[in-house]
Chains A and B, each alone.
Chain A
Amino acid sequence: MAIFEAHDLHLRFGDRVVLEDVSLAFEEGKLSGIMGPNGAGKTTCFNVLTGRYRPSRGRVLWQGRDITGRSPQDIARLGVARSFQLMNLFDEFTVFENIAVALPETRRRSANMLTSAYAERTVSEDVHDILERVGLADRANDDAKSLPYGARRALEIGVALACKPKLLFLDEPTAGLGADGRVRLAELIAKLKGQLTVVVIEHDMEFLFSLADEISVIHWGQVIARGTPAALRQNPWVESSNLGRLN
């Protein structure tokens, strides 16, 4: 059953059509991929799905409920988290606090003005659990801004995981990572796959094809192909693109 659906999404900026009749459905517990060339509209699509942009027309459904045009914070509270292609961290905070501030537990207590922010044992445990998962357990006290690029990328995913989402959107998580980092990230995403629904935008076709249950191809703001990795390999467009050179 699809946990998240988009029907006939259309978005234009001025006279430029950015998304046209985009329909997507993400099955619960599955890992879905979105691929396409630069400027195809993948990140814009994520931005519409997660509330950053309101579509010109079309509908977005979360567990069957219409959430079209809802704000990012409303959508996040429903259990939808995302990471960003360009790093979006709380740079003045430590690694620990980047995670802690994103926890639903902190959000629930966020009107509290008189107690210490993260003194609860559960907060500390949750933070360390997430840091362990993304491989930053030893850097909890480092400033986010002082981290090397790869570790910042890991923290970016950690912040999204801290929201304890049911659905996680990852926007080009391998961007800028070395080979070692990609392997570790693939391991992490493979683990997440059984625990929550994951949607990944990715340029690294090998990475995406090894993990995804289903992939949608976006080009010129439209979904031009959809299917399992095996089926997509046979698709003429995919065959003529980068993907055709896989293996």
Chain B
Amino acid sequence: MTQIERGVPAITLAMIGTWLVFASVPLWIEKVGLYQYLGVEILVFATYALAYNLVLGHAGLPSFGHGAFFGVGAYAFGLAQHAVWPNLWFCLAAAVAAAAVAGLIVALFISHRRGIYYALMTIAFGQVFWFIAIKATSITGGEDGLLKIERLPVATGIASFDLKSNVALFYFVLVVFMAVTVFLWRLVHSPFGRVVKAIKQNEMRARFVGYNVWAYKAAVLILSAGLSGMAGGMFAMAQNSAFPDVMSLHYSGYVVMMTLVGGGLVSFWGPVIGAAAFFLARDVIGAVTTSWMLWFGLCFVILVLFKPEGIAGLFQGYMRSHTAPKNPAPQPAPPSLAR
């Protein structure tokens, strides 16, 4: 019986390893000359990139306006806190719901498209949301952004934990990240996830075996938008504000870069690697030159040209070359209907 027939475990060794590495970050990050807030940024954007990769890597849908959902989540978190109920769980739920609704609106218009048309429509919608954020000054604060967003305490009913320090916030975001990784891991290996993967490979065949391709494409975008919104909500909390910048086209491009550089097309963990690489490059190269993005952009171009599978692809290639048998025994040709 193969692995796929046995089913994948809910929690894997790679998952536990990744969580442990992240959990140790506050213990050493300052000792290597970096700072605690960087860990928060990496985790928030790793969550965002994982959510984004549901659309790009798993469903093969090139969305280039995902910043809109991240931004909608950030604003929804702030607005829910200011105008409705300053409760962490409620505000996070509002961020997820608002971004999912935005995803639903976009999905209604674009789910019958694919390829370049899908990409162009997502850019157009991204710009619409960004423009609304800039112009709806009375709601979003316009270009000044939505300020005074509090880091709300984690209320569990029994005890309450303060998130004012970056380390506390880091561990809260880590718990959310862990939940998202478990959920997405289950999702991509679930019947739903495999159908989405089938649609990515061959939409027409998927239709002819009975799947409503439109509905799956819409569902994936809504899910991804909702989770991106949750990351946006955590980012608003981390920054104590929400700005239209995160909804702009170049911010949407960042998450694409993170996902591709990390290797989201070939690995579940690619977006996490990409998010870490992006922020480390910003801080490490940025300490040497202000034009860090030029160098990171060049790395991106080189990677896409020579190793489009990204950093995870490099790692997988290395592992394959070091674990494959040197002289595999020739296999007899199996019987087949047609030879």
Interface, chain A (partner B; CB < 8 A):
50, 52, 71-73, 76-77, 81-82, 84, 88-94, 96-97, 100-102, 104, 106-107, 109-119, 123-124, 134-141, 148-151, 153-154, 157, 159, 162-163, 177-178, 180-181, 184-185, 188
Contact = CB atoms under 8 A, between A and B. Distances in A.
A82 B339 contact: no
Contacts, number: 157
Interface string B1-14: 11011111000000
B335 interface: yes
B27 to A, nearest CB: 33
B212 interface: yes
Contact of A97 (B8, B194, B210, B338): B194
Contact of B6 (A77, A84, A93, A119): A119
Given A94-B2, A96-B4, 19 more contacts: A73-B207, A73-B212, A76-B208, A76-B210, A77-B210, A90-B201, A92-B201, A102-B209, A106-B194, A109-B191, A110-B192, A110-B211, A116-B189, A117-B194, A123-B5, A136-B336, A151-B337, A151-B339, A178-B339
Given A110-B192, A114-B186, A180 B339 contact: yes
Interface of B: 1-2, 4-8, 186-187, 189-195, 197-198, 201-202, 204-205, 207-213, 216, 334-339
B201 A91 contact: yes
B338 A185 contact: yes
A118 B209 CA distance: 17
A163 B334 CA distance: 25
Contacts of B202: 88-91
Nearest to A92: B201
A139 B338 CA distance: 13
B52 to A, nearest CB: 18
A73 B2 contact: no
A245 to B, nearest CB: 25
10 contacts: A71-B212, A88-B208, A96-B2, A107-B211, A114-B190, A115-B190, A118-B4, A138-B334, A180-B339, A181-B337
